[in-house]
Structure 1
Amino acid sequence: MSETSGKPSVLFVCVHNAGRSQMAAAWLTHLAGDRVEVRSAGSNPGENVNPAAVEAMREVGIDISAEVPKMLTVDAVKESDVCITMGCGDTCPVFPGKRYLDWQLEDPAGQGVEAVRPIRDEIKVLVVGLIKEIAPESEVTA
């Protein structure tokens, strides 16, 4: 749990922080609301979020067009309870006591929206499972 908010915190990491990690962060924010702290970063951030990822998310009513790829920092990992990597290999720092998951997802870089849709949908399924595990609805108090 985050020391400041008392909520579980999740960091999504991919190489460019332009596709998979941005879609995952958007899904988690959209589906879990304020029950989870969400971060995303890349080991070698791109200039912009992948336009096909922006379009694929827009199709499901989620706008990620204003997001900007961010550099992965040691602090981002330290501040997160769960670190989910998506093809960043050995570039993610590892700290004791943190939970690490590696989601094997196709890289949407350079692909059209038709190829990104199934990746978007696969990420949603993974995020729904993650929410059930770390922030189930029953934990919400009025």
Structure 2
Amino acid sequence: MSEKKPSVLFVCVHNAGRSQMAAAFLTSLSHGAVEVRSAGSEPANQVNPAAVAAMAELGIDIAAEIPKVLTTEAVKESDVVITMGCGDTCPIFPGKRYEDWELEDPAGQGVDAVRPIRDDIKARIETLLTELLPLGSAR
């Protein structure tokens, strides 16, 4: 019987920028070893075009992603919940690992302003991966 994959939920208000970039990085860098979800407390109609462009520069395509509404089930099913500016709208369940990443909101900004946010998220994802996966399991 195989071990259950660790699961991570990324939450921001619109699920259109930060949480989408974080989910894409974790999916890409974990090579499928982590179950990844993202959602927003007030999802936008589409992913932020500047976030799409910034990720495309690194060869990660998030253009087809659709912002999703945050559900209690998504939180319950996740081992780690990482919030990015959603304040008190994120449900909290005992026994979960919670982190709040303070990141600038890329909404309404151009790709030049989104690149440093993207790079900060990537560095945080790389650190998170070392905590979630035993050495060598994602490489």
2:103 counterpart residue number: 105
User: Is 1:23 aligned with 2:26?
Assistant: no
User: Is 1:67 aligned with 2:65?
Assistant: yes
Once superposed, what is the RMSD of the aligned Cα atoms? 1.3
Gaps of 5+ in 1: none
1:120 counterpart residue number: 118
Shift of 1:10: 0.1
Deviations 1:12-68 (A, max 9, x none): 000000000000000000100111000000000000000000000000000000000
Structure 2 distance, partners of 1:88, 1:136, is 30
Which among 8, 11, 14 is matched to residue 10 of structure 1?
8
User: What SS does the corresponding residue of 1:35 show, helix, strand or coil?
Assistant: coil
Query: TM-score, normalised to structure 1's length?
Result: 0.93
Superposition pairs of residues 38-53 of structure 1, within 5 angstroms: 38-53=36-51
Q: How many residues get paired?
A: 137
User: What SS does the corresponding residue of 1:11 show, helix, strand or coil?
Assistant: strand
Structure 1 distance, partners of 2:80, 2:100, is 11
Shift of 1:132: 0.2
Structure 1 distance, partners of 2:6, 2:56, is 27
Shift of 1:99: 0.6
Structure 2 distance, partners of 1:121, 1:103, is 13
Structure 2 distance, partners of 1:66, 1:42, is 17
What letter matches 1:61 in structure 2?
G
Over 2 Å off, 4+ runs:
136-140
User: What SS does the corresponding residue of 2:116 show, helix, strand or coil?
Assistant: helix
Structure 1 distance, partners of 2:47, 2:3, is 28
1:90 counterpart residue number: 88
Structure 2 distance, partners of 1:100, 1:92, is 10
Quick one: percent identity of the two aligned structures? 71
Structure 2 distance, partners of 1:139, 1:105, is 28
Residues 139 and 58 (structure 1), Cα distance of their counterparts in 2 relative to 1, 3 Å cut: closer
